[in-house]
Structure 1
Amino acid sequence: MTAPAWLEVLAETADACRTHGREDLAQRLRRRQDRPPGGTRVAVLGFPKQGKGYLVNAVLNAPVCPVGDAATPAVPIEVGYAAEPGATLVGRADERVPVDIEKLTGEVGARPAGSLRRVEVGVPRDLLSAGLVLIDTPAIGDPRSPRTAAALDVLADADAVILVSDAAAPLDQAELALARHVRTWCPHVVIALTKIDVSAGWRTVAEQNRTALSAAGIDSPVLPVSATVRFAAAKGGDQDLNARSGFPELLSWIATQVSRPAESTAALLAAVSVRAAAAELVETLRARAEAAGQEAGVDQTTLLQRSQRRADELRRRNSRWQNLLADEIADLQSDAEYDLRERTRKIVETIDETFDRGDPVKVWDEFGPWLDSTLAEAVETTYTFAAERAEWIAQAVAAAFGAQYDLPELALADSGADRIAEVRQPRIERFKIGQKAFTGLRGSYGGVLMFGLVTGLAGLPLINPVSIGAGVAFAAKTISDEGGMRLQRRQAVAKMTAQRHVDDVFLRFSKECRDAIRHVQRRLRDHFTELADALADELTREREMIIAGSAERERRSAALRREIDRLAGLHKRAGELGMLASRVPKELPA
């Protein structure tokens, strides 16, 4: 037996959907393909508070769907024929749980979110006995919500759709967009204008809806209905009131859907689904082709020129950061050496002032620790200054490089200020008692002799009170002078020792500071040289890819164009099959 032509088109379109990553479209087409023959599925869609549940209940004259303040299920409710009323909860793994139809709302609400696929309800109604299944869908809302997804998913295997809208106001843009989307996937759509019993201007609204639908290119009838009037008519058996409810026209439209030949309906629905899926795929591929065309619009020469400009800019940046690094490092070395020299100069001035006023014998015990701590502080301060300046240089070089990258670790080595050798106390000659006595005797000898000779002219002996007094005075003066000279020598020795120690510290740590700064220079130079080399390699690869990518882009563009043409062919074939299927009922004998 030869398979229908629409099956071949449907399968080919589903394969194209999977090839281009649209598994959702492929699933919809597969459901059309795998749907068993027979039966008519009519879905009822709409936004919240439009009266979907009331409409389904009114069509069946049975309270099968929750209405009013009852919680609306987040899954579709499929109402079909059954000899006895009953309900079944169908889970995600197709497990089936029978429940009492009177407890349906509570049972559905007690289930965890996402655990159900649908709810199947069976009621004994002649309208359903011919295979009709009415599907009450969750309310349409946020496009990203599971409820909206579950409602729109019903379109994949619906034969017809009743789109519900409140008669209080005309169709808004969201409802028109929904109608356009539904009409794309299902050819048989009717707009049920509900609640006309409480909307005095429903006739005007109905006419406005017909005008809006026509302007939007949506060929769907508008049927005003009132579920409240329908229930009142059924309760009282009033045929006139039932006619005023508008439901006879809606039931007639449903009966028309049920009476359509199964094979032509399947072919028409398949053709519509193929055209909708092909249209979405073509739109996606055209967007890709336009993007590829815009990319190809920048010809290879322009891309190569752009790459060359980037290479030239990289060379200019390399020159800038290298010059900046060399200049700043030279300035830092000079400034660091000057900073340490200035601090040690002030220490030397303090040394001079200290020993100009004090005796090293008395002050050295206090002076030595002070000198060591002051030199350590000076060295540490200079190192801190150099480290902060090095960090600033690194930031400046990075800015000159033209992009922000992770900077290398630039911490200077430990200053070693805590390892400065203690200043050694110089050998200081003390003016001892014996030395003072000997110096005094030597000075007194001259005084006694000089004044003894002078007084001898007056007939006095050489040793007399005057000569003895002069000897004592000369002795005291000699001792005082000798003590002053010895103090000056001690001060000079202490100054020289302290200054030599300061000079040693300066020479050692100025050298170590310069070495640390040169280490920073090498780290920054190597780091940014490596980055520059990497960027240069990247530009080289980019030029190679530009040259090699032109042919690849052309190949992809040609493939996209061929695929678009193939999908357009499928779209056309589906349209021809749909037109043929739509003519079949007219060609059948009466």
Structure 2
Amino acid sequence: MADVAKAVAVIELALRACTAYDRPDTAARLTAVKESLADPVLHVVVAGEFKQGKSSLVNALVGATVCAVDDDVATAVPTYVRHGLKPEAALLYEPGRREPIPVADVRKHVLENSDGDRVSGVEVRLPRKILAGGLVLVDTPGVGGLGSPHAAASLAAVSMADAVLFVTGAAQELTRSEVDFLQRARALCPVVACVVTKTDFYPAWRRIQELNERHLATHCPMPLMPVSSTLRSRAVKANDTALNAESGFTGLVRFLTDRIGGSAADRLVKDAAAEVLALCDQLGGRFQAERDALADPEAAARVVRELTGVKDRVEALKSAAAKWNQTLNDGVTDLTSDIDHDLRARVRVVIAEADTAIEAGDPADTWPEMEAWMQSRMANELLANYEFLRGRASELGLRVGDHFHEASTMIMRRPSVTDPTPMATVADFQHKIDLERMRITKQAMVALKSAYGGALMFIILGSMIGVSLGPIGIGIGLVMGHRGLRDEKKRQIQKRRGEARNAIRRYCDEVSFVANKDSRDTLRRVQRQLRDHYSGLAEELNRANAQALASASDAAKRSQSDRERRLKDVDAELARVQQLRQRAEAVAK
């Protein structure tokens, strides 16, 4: 792109300025910006319910069968498809470990029940033009309803994506759970689009498209694109332009390249221009202070005093007592407490709902459904807690940046806040309780025991008073046996309910323990990230001010002839800095 090339040229010119003016600190930051421009990474998450054609969509986009497609088995782990010089694949483990595998083996690791080896993802690299700009397509497992663990994991991935393609089939209109997912996805990601697949298989797909457009217009406006992965694959093999246009992928590819790639490139270009403008502010302030001291010897002392005062303020910015630093420390402490309290409150609600459900039935009958409900419910609450953490952490970053800006009186780029991925995942519900009902033989033994005891008691009582009960004793024994059996069943139901409640509490404790650790680790990362970023900026300001102070102090000691010669050099330096500023401003437009 032309704008990216201009931004790279401006960054290279700024790097030469850093070398000439002895600013290695700023050069390190500009180098990182240049690397991001050279190798941008744009994550596009492909999400949707099970069996809606997500994997087929990714395969059709890249023109190769990289994502496993199966009519009976669903995708179990996400597949990351990105650019590479040659086809290759690797397994991704926690945390950050990679294991190369043959591309032909991708299928058995991606599909459920393949080999039992649980990995966090599979990465596939392909030499494709559509991926060359840094596009990374992420094929995720099916949503399975908004409250499911898969949905929670997908929404966690959505929060860190540059864009989302939500896939729904042309067999039916959008469901309530799909609309709910899209609403939450829009709140987490700036660019979301809905793709209707399998238009070649369902003749009434246009009617479905109309219904979906109404749903989206009412609940969450976004682009809607009907496509056929089958027609696209045939068009790629036959190099048929007309068939490719009929497949609908022309508009989808344009959306990916222009809307997603263009917006990401614009963001990177503006960030690069902002970094160069910040350097120009520092260099311009340095040479302008020296020029003021050279042009007016009587004002030199005033300039030195002003720069000395700035030095004190910059030194204060670096201290632990700085307002931005105190805001950061206090904010992280408060946020840690609030996140913990929010999670505890959510878990208490879940436990109360589970207790109510347990009391309403027999765990021997409802436990399988209870397990699935519990895992989904906790996944949903963890996701809500994660969204709360994400929003509050972003607000904290903005507050810290505002306080630093007020103290430094310079516009500084604020860093993005780290997003936690483990926060939205839950462990499998492994219950260890005895839910077996009484067998017939045991019920018979309990009934006989109660009947025998009851009949014996009344027979003994009759003999004591000289009355023979006869058949009446047998009837009394049967009544007592039935009552004893009923009481034993109630006792066992209460026992199963108690075990079920204990199992749920153990599960919630385990999930809360892991979630609390994840949230605390995330907040520590956020704190370090913000602290290091603004401490680095304070060091840059300190260095720039020290150079300006040294130049002004030196100018005050020069003779008239030396000042005149140096004044010409300083004017030339200011002109160079102004040229760099103009080029950066042109890139930023």
TM (norm. structure 2) is: 0.43
Q: Which structure carries more relative contact order (alpha carbon 8 Å, separation 6+)?
A: 2
Structure index of larger Rg? 1
TM (norm. structure 1) is: 0.43
